Amino acid sequence: MSCYHNTCNKKPSFNKKGEKAIACKDHKTDEMVNVKLNICKDASCNITAIYGYKGSKPQYCLKHRIADMISLHHSTLCEYAECITRASCNILGRPPAFCSKHKTDNMINVVNKRCVYPGCTSLSRLFNYKGSKGEFCVTHKKPGMIDVSHKPCEHADCTLQPSYDIKGGSGRFCTTHKLANMIDIKNKYCDHSGCTVVNPIFNVEGSISGKFCIQHKTPSMIDVKHKTCEHENCKIRPSFDIKGGNGRFCVTHKHDDMIDITHTYCDHTDCKKRANFDLPDGKGKCCTTHKAEGMIDIANKHCIVDKCYSRANFGKLGSKVSHCAVHREKGMIRRSNRKCANCKELAVWGINFTPLHCELHKNEDEQNLVERPCSSCHLPYILDKDNKCENCNPLSWKSALLAKQIPLMDYLDSRDLAGEMTDRIIDKGICGKERPDRLYDFHDKIVILECDEHQHNDRACICEQTRMVNISQMFGGIPVYFIRFNPDTYTPKHEALSEDTITKRYKTCGDFIQDIKDQRIKLPNALLSVIYLYYNGWSGLNEEEWNIITPME
């Protein structure tokens, strides 16, 4: 049967709703609809029906659908019982049968296009030669290929993605080539005035997007960007799951067969320490105990001097650390690009040539670390309290930089208690910029050693506790135990007691950490605890008690 029009041989698809098709698209009248399609059952509606129940034909359009109906517009739904998600996965070469949640381990996405490299199952097809469509993933892109799926920076020959533009723009230049009046329009900033933290994750419970960073969140705010432990009412980020999982429970609520899946662990059989050592250019295979000959610490930044693999701790004020203690150049200080403890400005005032505060928040006993003319040689350098540079008064620098923390860490290193990291930002600063003096990961607990010169009397107690809380929250609910070690003078609990020598203090600290490692010390059942060694009132470890800051929920 053909269209009712005399000279038309096309198949008819149109007529009044509910009647047999008599006209083609070209010869239909205004009141006619496509009766070959499922039209919405609502009497006044002529829109195509795409909503219905699983296993049946579409009955209604979006406007008139019944609440429990689903879209049947696309291909088959997941075959898993009661699942109404679109099927996209199956064994390669077969049509889609299951959704990503209910697929088996041998199934992949068979709907979307994959990287054209033979055997690659990546859905990322961003790379190709300039002028072509994306076909390769980042792993299999060939030399000369660039990201052709995103608009590049407008600067000549720059292939980076643009994130800077004037306010209201969509992005024209990368951070290197941005103009003076441009701002980052791709990333969201913390709502706190003047804060430059990108992608805030904290907001009130129930919110979809974050508004504040960890420093400026209120006590009632939680992390709304990351999933939480599946245990009822637990708000801690999950880090435990079965091998191959993505994280379901925190350390408190994990099942017996679950492991910490957020970190890479030593390849040695049954070793559960973090893998911080590998051959140069490696990603981490062994812990400090099981590292092979030739392996280096790849978790921390190294000194830039050729073939030196010592950790870089020193640099010029305002610049990143670049040199180790042996190769540091004149005028270099520790933590050279440290931010003020009270704000995000560069710290240019400090104690013992270690920056702590900016000009606004400096304390009375802190020294200016900005280069000034030396009173002796008149050349511009960072000066000591006598207004002399390192060249003219080297002893003041040596005593300030090496007398406290470094000897303690060297002693612990000699006892094979080097820990997982020393003076380094945790997880590249994802959740905060705090830098513990030394961190030990004992799998089921985290121990952090802090060398507190002068018992940190220059710092408010609430600031110290806030810092410990911030650090503890980075470990997804694993118990964190702080050891605060004072290397300076203290007042013993009893007048008959004298102060322990520094050598004895080092040994006590080392023995204590070793006993915790060997599980010979009974630790409090809490998320965050702290113990103070050689603070005022000290009489010995047998009388010192742990202070619980965050109890176990």
- SS3 assignment for 231-271: CCCCCCCCCEECCCCCCCECCCCCCCCCEECCCCECCCCCC
Residue 75 has pLDDT above 70, yes or no: no
CA pair distance 401, 355, nearest whole angstrom: 12
**Residue 482 is assigned to a structural domain of this protein:** yes
- Indicate the pLDDT class of residue 460, thresholds 50, 70 and 90: low
Structure tokens at 366: 């802190």
pLDDT of residue 482: 96
Of 35 and 232, which is predicted with more confidence?
Answer: 232
Domain that holds residue 442: 406-551
pTM (whole model) above 0.85: no
- Indicate the pLDDT class of residue 508, thresholds 50, 70 and 90: very high
CA pair distance 532, 546, nearest whole angstrom: 8
Tell me what the mean pLDDT of segment 113-138 comes to.
89
Closest-CA residue to 10 (of 29, 20, 23): 23
pLDDT of residue 459: 62
Q: Are 486 and 532 in contact (CB under 8 A)?
A: yes
pLDDT of residue 253: 92
pLDDT digits (tens, 9 = 90+) for 179-217: 988 888 888 888 888 787 888 999 998 888 899 988 888
Tell me what the mean pLDDT of segment 309-320 comes to.
81
Cα pseudo-dihedral 450, 451, 453, 458, rounded to 10: -10
**Residue 445 is assigned to a structural domain of this protein:** yes
Of 194 and 91, which is predicted with more confidence?
Answer: 91
- Indicate the pLDDT class of residue 399, thresholds 50, 70 and 90: low
**Residue 241 is assigned to a structural domain of this protein:** no
- Indicate the pLDDT class of residue 513, thresholds 50, 70 and 90: very high
**Residue 238 is assigned to a structural domain of this protein:** no
**Residue 543 is assigned to a structural domain of this protein:** yes
Q: How many of the other CB atoms lie within 10 Å of CB of 24?
A: 18
Tell me what the mean pLDDT of segment 502-514 comes to.
93
- Indicate the pLDDT class of residue 299, thresholds 50, 70 and 90: confident
**Residue 538 is assigned to a structural domain of this protein:** yes
Number of domains in the chain: 1
**Residue 515 is assigned to a structural domain of this protein:** yes
pLDDT digits (tens, 9 = 90+) for 241-291: 987 788 899 988 999 888 888 878 888 888 877 788 888 878 888 887 788
Residue 397 has pLDDT above 70, yes or no: no
Tell me what the mean pLDDT of segment 165-171 comes to.
86
**Residue 455 is assigned to a structural domain of this protein:** yes
